[in-house]
Every structure is written in structure tokens, then in C-alpha cells.
Structure 1
Amino acid sequence: MNRISPKQASVHLTPKHWYKSNRHLIKKAICEFYHELLIKPTIVSSSKNGWNTYELAVKNSTIKYTFDAKLLHLRHLWIKDDSLRKTDNNRPSELDVVSFFKEFKSDLGIDDARFPVYLEEVISTLHGSIYKLSSDNLTSDELVHADFQTIEKSMTEGHPGFVANNGRIGFDSTDYQAYAPETGKTFSLIWLAGHKDHTHYSAKKELPYKILIEQELGKDTITRFNQIITEKGQHPESYYFIPVHPWQWHNKLVNIFSPQIAKGDLIFLGSNPDQYQPQQSIRTLFNISNPHKFYTKTALSILNMGFVRGLAMYYLESAPKVAAWLEELLYKDPYIIETNFRMLSEIGAVSFINPYFEALGPESEYNRLLASLWRESPTNMIKREQKLMTMAAFLHIDTNGEAFLPKLINASGLSIDDWLRSYLKAYLSPFIHCFYKYDLVFMPHGENLIMVMDNNVPVGSFLKDITDEATILSPDIDVPEEIKRIYEVVPDDIKILSFFIDIFDGFFRYMAHILEEHAAYDQNNFWRIVAENIQQYQERHPELNDKFDHYDLFAGEFQLSCLNRLQLNQNRQMIDMHDAVSQLQFVGKLQNPIAIFKKENTFTN
């Protein structure tokens, strides 16, 4: 990797883009912090069409923010971009996102020790936003015709709910431009040989190490790597090959694993010829040279959105077994087949155990430094006329302020109603079935779903990140001993929040807003189609009526689980995955937007 010049590092940081990014991030912060009841703007004037003028005052100060907004379902503020103003003592003042966070620090409840790190994440998110504005990305109209990886690198927002969602603390300016998804750059992986005394390999039965590594590396590269091991005076059969991210090698492994390198337990092998493109989930890498090969996911110990992004052997060693069990459970199910739902299974994993840190346990970031996994690629699983895109694209707004989703729907030739029906059958329906039939939930946010598109209509979906996010909620489901970690004891009222929080609040809230703002499609129509999808499933499966009644998706309200509050409370390890439920931040309740569509006697046999 060639280092960029000092001038290149800052060339995109222009006043025009800085002001635009500041306005956008403050607007998002107001929307999300109001949603989570951290701040309380007041209405100072109203109009008949649902638009109000709000005022947000800073405590013990003469500073005020004013804006025009419409309150949508799920306590979501649609703020008119050009209406946002800041005054100090009734005089115009410059919009500055860092000042905004300082002004509302006490409202956010973040302590003095964490505040500077959180501010750095905010500034880094602002920096990324400015870079995206300065890039020559395709417009939303052009993206309709773009390929899978062009769409992937063109996304501009990151996680829709988190305000500080592109921290990537640990990257310097060269790293950012080399490894951030939005730059579209590709790079080679570094490969190490890990001695089998300290290295664990696990995979599905049909993928023993030799077969997997021959596919990923090819015989010529394997011969070259084995020669390097031999020249070190070691035996190639005593080692497993481990792919690592170049950043991880230079910034973590060379130093922290220097004893193992010096003793020959780890051997540097070099790179293979393939080029990889980082995905929206920055540790996941797509083989751009050979798309039929597996995704590779590597440890990347940067601080990003509440976690240091390593990989834990605790999860990896059982990941292929979890994948195989889930496939056996779901892939013979007629309804799953009908919805064209598949998982991108994590079919192989390799991790190196550092004996100096092993006693710290699986949650320590020092035990997440050297591990990788291989995941199925969807490119071999679709028909010739179909194409793929991240579901995050459905929330994409280009740098001209044009939304991608209405352009996509228009190109399909379908009405918005009919397009949504097809989308919900491909996305929502399989998760409803998994929950009610198998007590199984996933984490189906935008970056975790790859949609299968046929003539710009969603006809299926691929789910990734399954084995550390899939959870069985019922002890009545027989889970093999070696994958018991996917079972979790969860209170009844929390179980159904996998829909209300992850899907309704975490994705549909933004989708409904985009369609109303950019396609004049009333939000109530959106939620009516969601209700229709659920009701059609319930009518087809009367044998599950007791569960539909007990876990009621048409309940009048539900608890709000607050993502930003989690990050503000602990921005280095936002949540302990071994005890996630007890650490969730529940504040207030939201009115369920599909409750009004509930049919009487829905669950009567």
C-alpha cells in the first residue's frame, strides 16, 4: 500500500462539503436523540398539514436550534433540511456538530471519560460524510442499473439509527482511503501460517481444510507458501494458513504477536494474487478477482460504532456447525423455499490462540486479534437475469438529495403497493416464519441482507452474520450440545422486540419516511401493506394461532430499545454478547403503527 501525500489526506475537506455534512449530522442527531427521549424540542408554531416549527433550547444558555418538522410514526421527525437554524442570544450562529454535542452533553448522559472518544467518533463520521460528498459517486438514477459491488461502495449513510456510525478509530488517513468501503479501493490479503499447536480450524464436513484452501488460494500459491515454511526450517503439514487484513498485520499483529513470530509459531507468507473489496460491514471482504470464491471476514481491531471489531474464537469454532444446523432446520421448510430465503453460511473459520491472553476470556479484545472466517458468496446462487444489492440501498440518498428507492420502484414498472408486497414476502415473511415456527430470531438490519432482484423487484434475500447473531428463544427446540451458545433465555415481552426494534423501528421507520418524502407515498399506506403481509401469513398458518395471540405483532405499543443510549453508555464494548438482554437500554414506549389494522378475531380457529 502506497501512502498518500499530506495534501491528498485533506483535499476533500472543503467548506462547502463541511457545512453540508454538519447540517446533515445535526439533523440526524436531533431526529435520533428525540426518538430516544434524550432531548425534547418543543413546538412553537403549527400548520394544518402536519408541519410544525420546533425549538430546541440548550440548558442554561442563550443558544437555540429551530427547525420545521413533521412527526411521523414511531416518534420519527422528518426535518426539512434547509429549515435548521441556530441562534445565540437571538443572533444567527454557525451550525457545528461538535459544538452541538458539547452543548447537549448533560442531556446525553455521557461521562467525562468517554466523551472525548465519542466526539472523535462523531468527527470521524463527519469526515467520512465529507469524503462521500466529494466522491464521484453515481446518482440514484444511475445506481438502478449498477452492479452489486458498485452499489455496495456507493452507500453514503452507514447504520441509519446510530449517529456516530463511522468512527473507524485506528485508521490513519492512508488507511481510510485504502480500506473504507466508500473509497471503492481493492487490496490483497496478507497470509500467515499458524502452527497447529496454537491454531484452530473448523468447517462444515464437506469442506475439510485442504479443499477450502485449494479453492481460495490455488495450487501455485499453496506451493509458494509451503516453500516459505520449509525455508524457515519448519514442516508445512504442521501449519494452517490464516488470511489477515493488512491493517491488522501492521497495527496489531507484528507487535502483539512478536513472540509467536520470533519463535516460528506464526510465519509471514505474503499475499495471494486476488483482490478484495471491503463491504459496508467493513471487516467482510468480497473477492473482486474471483466472485465465485467465498467472502473472507477478518479481525479488524478498529473502534467502530460501539465495539472494537475483532473476531472471537469462541464464536468461530462452532460457526460452521451452527450454519449446518440452521440449514438442516430451514432449507427443507416449504415456506422458506417459497420465500426464496437463504443464509450465507459461515462455512469455515481459523483462529490463532495467543497463550499470553487466553485467560482473559472470549470477550477480551486481545483474544479477538487473529481470526478469520469464510462465508458463502451469493453470486453463484442466483439466476442469470437476476442481480444482487445490499438492502441498505433501499435507504440510500445520493449526494444530490435524491432517494434511490423510488427510482428503483419506478424502474420495476410496478406500483409502490405491489413492489412492497414482493419486498415484504422476500424480507419480512421468512423472519416471521422463523420466529413463530422455530422460535428463531436473527439480526436482519440493512447491511445484513442482500436482496435478490429480478427486473428491479425483490424476489428473494440472503442473510449474513448468522452464526453470532442467530438466537433460539425456546428451550423446547432441541439444539445440539456443541452449538448450545445460540440458545438464550429471554423474557417473553422481549422476544417479539426482534421485530418491533430490529425491523419496524430499525429499518421500516426510515423506509416509510423515504417513500413519503421522495415519492409522496403516505406512511399509513406503507404500514397497511406491512400489516397485510403479517395477516396473510397468519391466515395461512392457523396452527400457530396461540403464538400469534401470545406474541402479538399488532399490539398497541412496544418498548423502545435505544441504540444510541447504548453507545453513549459504553462506546468500546457497547454490549456483552453473553448477557445482551440485561444491558439493553429501554426508555419509553412507541405506538405500533400497524395496530390500527388489526382484524378482530384474527386468532380464532
Structure 2
Amino acid sequence: MPLPLEKPDRSRDRVIRQLVAALLFEGIVEARESAYDGGTRFQWSLGGREFRCRGMAGPFGRIRIEAGSVEVLAGCGRWEDASLGEIVPLLPGTGISRGRLLGELEQTIAFCEWNHRNLPSRDRRRMSFVELEGALDEGHPYHPCYKARTGFSIADHAAYGPETGQAFRLVWLLVARKHLNQVLPDREDAFWKSELGEETWGEIRAKRQELGLSGEDFGFVPLHPWQWKDLNETLLGGWIAAGEAHNLGPLGDRYVATQSLRSLLNIDRPLAASIKLPLNVVNTSSRRTLEPHSVCTAPALSAWIADAVRGDPSFRDRYPLTILQEYAGIVADREGPLAGQVGAIWRENAEAALLAGEAIVPFNALMMVEADGKPFADEWIGRFGLMPWLNRLLEVAILPVWHLLVRHGIAVEAHGQNMLLVHRDGWPVRLILRDFHESVEFSPAFLHEPEKAPDFLSLNPVYRGAEPDQYYWTGNLDSLRELVMDTLFIYNLSEISHLIDIYYDLPESRFWRRVESLLATHAQEHGVQHRQTQLGHARPFMLTESLITRKLLALKPEYHHEVPNALAARTPERRRKP
């Protein structure tokens, strides 16, 4: 079922509106605004043609466009529904970038339409955590390429997309050790025996012996079956032919994809680790491989954050937080042509962290509307009352992430997929965070305990001589604020505030005043007003990442634009170019 104001059988309209909303939000097109029937009419010129739509600018200037309202002025002087083919070719960028964008948009529509035709309506409120991870098929609420999966065919989508819940085994490779880097929490044999179980571990060792290969010369690496298909006849083919790698075939437990596509959950042993594998698939903003430097850094990085949480009583008593550690990593050809395409990261199991009576849902489930036309959390809100439930949700969702930033100086990417809500019969209890290896930032001078940070120079030679902002560390506190506020506020909780406004008549301004009050109270209680001021979280305007601009221009790793800050008092809801 859809996000608020969406319909599952109108995927083309949703994609067009999310594209136009991003173009307006990021200032790629400059619209003229006028009042219209309680909302706003946006009208703009593009490539000599006139376009318009109806909607509103919400918190942080996020544009919400009314269904079916994106129109183009036809040659006859009549306004008609606008198509992707009329909008995309007129955008900035190159013919290559525009063509790529159009292809990703059309594939997003195709996969959404396939889902609508082939997947039955399901009662997601009664699903287990594993089932819900796959059933949250709405995708990114902002990025219009939210289901592009470039590289997947319809058959691949059916076999490996999380929505279908199809289970599959991993393909196992033997790879010459000279190509491998790995960090394991235990002796190698003990690690594999624990991760695979005795039966599979015995089977995989027997296959190595059949090939006449020794454990001293060759190590094991799992591969997503789609990735094996993609690489077998190209880059991996040379290794296979030269005897540098050997395919052992599909072995061991079965896995299903989560909503992030490349992170997999074990369904044969439900409390076993989840595993993250690279895919040469483009979805939303990036290719879903693994940053090669991050794979073996992941254990040190997440252990550092987990230690900071364990050492601060506030995370136990006031802002309960669980860190799912990424405790093992293996990567092949770290500096070579296959860098980031063959490897794996093992992550602690979320359900293994639950106490009696607790349950867990991905946080972005709270943004969704179910088949009965009511929000996912409607029963919970009815049980506890809107304001008690909402106030508790905001405390549980915001304060652990904010305390980690302001008190400890560690910024994490807290978007809807990386956050898990632990609850008791719908009452928010605590937060679980996951996925740190590519999405943590800190400034050494702002760390509460800088001596406890990982020794990055010893972890990977690539970190030696690296510039600030190239990897995890920065000299700019704005970068820390931007990472947290982008993910937690602008592209995450703004969806919750929108839903609450629509379905429960609570104005979004009240929602964000409550957030502002939480942050101010936290700073006062912990005596960190100065540190919070240094972060500049209450400035009238702030920079946020320009996701569609990057996709169109593709000349820099990141682009940014300025937006009004919903946490600044009486900020006009207008956008400005930086």
C-alpha cells in the first residue's frame, strides 16, 4: 500500500510527481508560485515550454504535489497531463545522464506495476519482522528512481526483489588468498563453523578438498547469485580460467532480501547474522556495491559506536539504543578491477536483541498507509492516544541519535531503513540502529573521547594522507549536522509529520515545535548548549543534499542546496539557492 496521498495503481503519476517535487525542491527549475484553492500552484518554464502543478511546500521546503496535477501547456493552448518524455529531455545535464535518468524512471514504473499485478494485498500489521522487511515495497518517499534496480530483469525482480519474499542460497567462491582482505572476530575455522553450522561447513571444506586446494592458499567468499551471474562471464571469468577463483555453487542456508536489496536475512536460522553483499545494480542514487575500503573497517567502526553507547548510562536509562554491530568483513581485490564487487559484511541479528514481550518494525513502516486506508500505526495510536504515543515516538526516535551526535560527536545516517523501532504492543520502547560502514562521520576536535576513535591509519593504507570529508572524518561540523538532519529530519520524520497531519489533523508546525523542544531540553539537561550551538541546527536556512542534481550533472560526488529550517522559529517555507 502507499505513502499518504498515493495510490498503488498510479505508479507513473507518483514517479512524475516525485521527479517534479525534486526538481522544485532542489531549485533545478525556478517556479512561480500563486495561491490556489488552499494550496499553491507552481508554474515554471523549461526548454521553452510551460509546466504547472498544484501542491504545497512543507517543513524544510519539501514539496508535496497533488495527484494528477502535473501538466504541460500544449500547442493548442490547452493544459494537458505532462509525461516523463516531455520533462526529462529538457532538464540540465548531458544526453547520457538524461537518458540514464529516463531509463531508471521507466524501470521504476515497470517494477511497481509488476508488483501491483502480481503481489496480493497483505495485512502487514500482523507480519513478522522478516516478512515486513520484504513487504514494505513503497520505496524511497523522495527519490523518483525508488525502484529502478538497473541491471535487474523482471525475472530477477521476481527472484531477488524483497517484495516477493523468494528464498535463495548464496553462491560460494574459493578465492586465492593473495586477493583477499578480511577481518574476523575469531579464528577462521571457528568463525565459519559458527556462521555456517557444522553441516554446511563440513560440506564446503569437502568441496575444497575435492579440488585439491589448501586452506592456506584459498579462502571462502559468499556471493549473491545475481552477482555471480553478472560477473561470471566478465571480471570473475578471468580468475576462474586462471585458477585464481573456483565456484563451489549454491550452498548452505536460504536467505531473503530486505528492503535495501543487498542486505539479506537468514530464514533457515532466524537468529543467525544478516549478511550484506554487493550488487552491480543502480537503485535511487548509487550503484549497490560495497565501498572496498569500508568492508574491513566496518567491525572497528561499529564496535567503536557500540562501546560509546555501552559506556554512557544515558543510553541505558534515558535514550535506550542498540547498535547492530558489523562484526566481520571479507573483500576480494580491494584495490583492483573487482574492488567492491566481491565481498561480504556480517551484521548482528536484530531479533536476537529483543527482550520478552518486545517486537520490532522497520521505522519507515510508520510512514505507510495500509489496505484499509488507515496508517500502519493507527491501532497503536488508537490504543494509547495520539499525543502520548507521538511524544514517546519522538523521544525514542530522535534523542538517541541526537545524544550520539551532540554529546559524543558521532553522526550516523538515521534514515527510515537504518532505524528499527522496538515496541511493546505498539508502545515505542527503544531504537535499534544498523548499517554504519559507509555512513558515519565525525570531527576529531568535536569527539567527546577522541582517544577511543579507531586507528584508521592502521586499518587500511588508503586512509593515509586522505583529505577531510574523503572518508569518515571531517573538519567541518556542518557536515555532521547535515548527515543527521538530512536523514533523520528532512527525509525521514518529515514523512511522519505529513502523515500525522493528514490523518490526525495535527499541524506539522506543532510536530516540529515538539522536536525543537526536545532538542532544547536535551541540551539544557546535559549542559551541551554550546556544542549544540556549534552544530548550527537552528539556523534559518541550511544545506541539504541534492540527489537529483547529482544524478543529472554527475560531475561531483555530492551537490547541495539551501532549504528553510523547520527547527528555526518563524522561518518562511521558501527555498533559496546556496
TM-score between the two structures when normalised by the length of structure 2: 0.88
Q: How does 1:351-366 map to 2 (within 5 A)?
A: 351-353=331-333, 358=335, 366=338
- Give the match for residue 496 of structure 2: 511
Identity of aligned residues (%): 19
Whether the aligned pair in 1 keeps the contact of 2:137 and 2:259 (CA below 8 Å) is no
Match of 1:208 in 2: 187
In the other structure, the counterpart of 2:508 is 523
**Cα distance in structure 2, aligned partners of 1:570 and 1:252:** 25
> Does 1:41 pair with 2:28?
no
Please, which of 143, 161, 185 is the counterpart of residue 142 of structure 2? 161
Amino acid at match of 1:123: E
Rounded to whole Å, the distance in 1 between the matches of 2:336 and 2:235 is: 16
Query: 1:555/1:312 Cα in 2 relative to 1: closer, same or farther (>3 Å)?
Result: closer
1:436 and 2:406 aligned? yes
Q: Tell me the equivalent position of 1:60.
A: 48
The answer on 1:191 being equivalent to 2:172 is yes
Is 1:377 aligned to 2:349, yes or no? yes
Alignment partner for residue 262 of structure 1, among 228, 236, 241? 241
Q: Confirm or deny that 1:170 pairs with 2:151.
A: yes
Change (3 A) 1:592 1:557: farther
- 1:330-362 alpha-carbon deviations (Å, 9 max, x no partner): 2121111232211111111112227xxx356xx
Residue equivalent to 2:575: none
Classify 1:64/1:480 alpha carbon distance in 2 versus 1 (closer, same or farther; 3 Å): closer
Question: 1:587 aligns to what?
Answer: 561
- 1:79 is matched with which residue? 65
1:129 matched to 2:112? The reply is yes
Deviation at 1:217, TM superposition (A): 1.7
Partner of 2:326: 346
Per-residue deviation, 1:394: 1.8
Once the two structures are superposed, what CA deviation does each residue of 1:42-66 show, in whole Å capped at 9, x if it has no partner?
Answer: 345434xx423444454423x5434
1:370 CA drift (Å): 1.0
Among 356, 370, 378, the residue aligned to 1:407: 378
Query: 1:456 matched to which residue of 2?
Result: 426
Q: Is the 8 A contact 2:330 2:344 kept in 1?
A: yes
1:316 aligns with 2:295: yes
C-alpha contact (below 8 Å) 1:287/1:293 kept by paired residues: yes
- Return closer, same or farther for 1:150/1:172 CA change in 2, 3 Å cut-off: same
Shift of 1:275: 1.4
Partner of 2:544: 560
CA deviation after TM superposition for structure 1 residue 186, in Å: 1.6
**Partner of 1:32: helix, strand, or coil?**
helix
Q: Pairwise mapping of residues 269-284 of structure 1 onto structure 2 (< 5 A)?
A: 269-284=248-263
User: After the TM superposition, which of the residue ranges 557-566 and 368-377 deviates more from structure 2?
Assistant: 557-566
Q: 1:532 to 1:58 in 2, by over 3 A?
A: same
Q: Deviations over 1:509-547 (max 9, x none)?
A: 2221121122222111211221222122122102x2321
User: Hey, what does 1:117 align to over in structure 2?
Assistant: 100
8 Å contact 1:56–1:66 — kept in the other structure?
no
Residue 546 of structure 1 corresponds to 530
Find out whether 1:297 has 2:276 as its counterpart.
yes
Residue by residue, what CA displacement relative to the aligned partner does 1:220-264 show, whole Å, maximum 9, x if unpaired? 222222222222122245432211100111111443122322343
Distance (whole Å) between structure 1 residues aligned to residue 377 and residue 70 of structure 2: 25
2:84 alignment counterpart? 97
Deviates more, 1:477-486 or 1:431-440: 477-486
1:148 CA displacement: 0.9
The equivalent of 2:19 in structure 1 is 29
Distance 1:380 1:460 in 2: 15
C-alpha displacement at 1:19, in angstroms?
7.3
Change (3 A) 1:22 1:590: same
User: Against the structure 1 CA distance between its residues 200 and 66, is the aligned structure 2 distance closer, same or farther, given a 3 Å change threshold?
Assistant: closer
Residues 58 and 264 (structure 1 numbering): CA distance in 2 closer, same or farther, change over 3 Å? closer
Find the residue that maps to 2:407 and give its secondary structure.
helix
Q: Does 2:452 align with 1:466? A: no
Which residue of 2 is the match for residue 11 of structure 1? none
Post-superposition Cα deviations, 1:149-205, rounded to whole Å, max 9, x if no partner, equal 22212223322221222221111221111111122222111111223232222123x
* 8 Å CA contact 2:144, 2:284 repeated in 1: no
The alpha carbon displacement at 1:81 in A equals: 1.8
**Equivalents in 1 of 2:474, 2:345: separation in Å?**
27
CA drift at 1:404: 2.9
What does residue 13 of structure 1 align with?
none
Which range moves more in the overlay, 89-98 or 150-159?
A: 89-98
User: Which secondary structure state, in structure 1, belongs to the residue aligned with residue 253 of structure 2?
Assistant: coil
CA drift of 1:495 comes to 3.2
CA distance, structure 2, for counterparts of residue 87 and residue 407 of structure 1: 41
1:14-45 residue CA offsets vs partner (Å, 9 max, x unmatched): xxx99721111122222222111122333454
Give the root-mean-square deviation of aligned CA atoms: 2.6
How far has the Cα of 1:471 moved from its partner? 1.7
Distance, in Å, in 2 between the alignment partners of 1:253 and 1:349 is 22
Tell whether the 8 Å contact from 1:500 to 1:558 is kept in structure 2 after alignment: no
Q: How many residues align?
A: 548
Question: How far, CA to CA, are the matches of 1:415 and 1:596 in structure 2?
Answer: 28
Residues 552 and 239 of structure 1: CA distance in aligned 2, closer, same or farther (over 3 Å): same
Q: Is the 8 A contact 2:541 2:562 kept in 1?
A: no
In structure 2, C-alpha distance between the alignment counterparts of 1:457 and 1:429, rounded to whole Å: 16
Following superposition, the deviation at residue 86 of structure 1 comes to 4.7
Give the AA of the match of 2:67: D
> For residues 345 and 502 of structure 1, what CA distance do their matches in structure 2 show?
20
Change (3 A) 1:52 1:418: same
TM-score by length of 1: 0.84
Corresponding residue number in structure 1 for 2:132? 151
Q: Relative to 1, partners in 2 of residues 1:52 and 1:436: Cα closer, same or farther, differing over 3 Å?
A: closer
For 1:543-599, what per-residue CA distance to the aligned partner results, in whole angstroms no more than 9, with x for missing partners?
A: x2321232243332222332221222229xx73xxxxxxxx32223313345359xx
Is the contact between residue 229 and residue 267 of structure 1 (CA under 8 Å) also seen in structure 2? no
Q: Is the 8 A contact 2:227 2:279 kept in 1?
A: yes
Counterparts of 1:255 and 1:410, CA distance in 2: 53
How far apart are 1:138 and its partner, in Å?
4.1
Q: Are the structure 2 counterparts of residues 85 and 414 from structure 1 closer, same or farther at C-alpha, using a change threshold of 3 Å?
A: farther
8 Å contact from structure 1 (residues 156, 396) kept in 2: no
Q: Secondary structure of 1:503's partner?
A: helix
Say if 1:398 and 1:433 are closer, same or farther in 2 by CA, change over 3 A. same
Map Cα deviations across residues 412-431 of structure 1 (whole Å, 9 max, x no partner).
Answer: x1222222222222221111
CA distance in 1, matches of 2:305, 2:218: 30
Displacement of 1:329 after TM fit?
Answer: 2.2
- On the 8 A contact 1:161/1:563 being kept in 2, the answer is no
Q: Which range is displaced more, 77-86 or 383-392?
A: 77-86
Higher alpha-carbon deviation: 156-165 or 183-192: 156-165
SS at match of 1:114: helix
Which shifted more, 438-447 or 381-390?
381-390
- Once residues 119 and 241 of structure 2 are traced to their aligned partners in structure 1, the CA distance between those partners, rounded to angstroms, is 45
Q: How far has the Cα of 1:133 moved from its partner?
A: 2.6
Structure 1 residues 418, 135: closer, same or farther in 2, change over 3 A? farther
Would you say the 8 A contact 1:19–1:95 is kept in 2?
no
The residue type paired with residue 358 of structure 2 is Q
Distance 2:248 2:195 in 1: 15
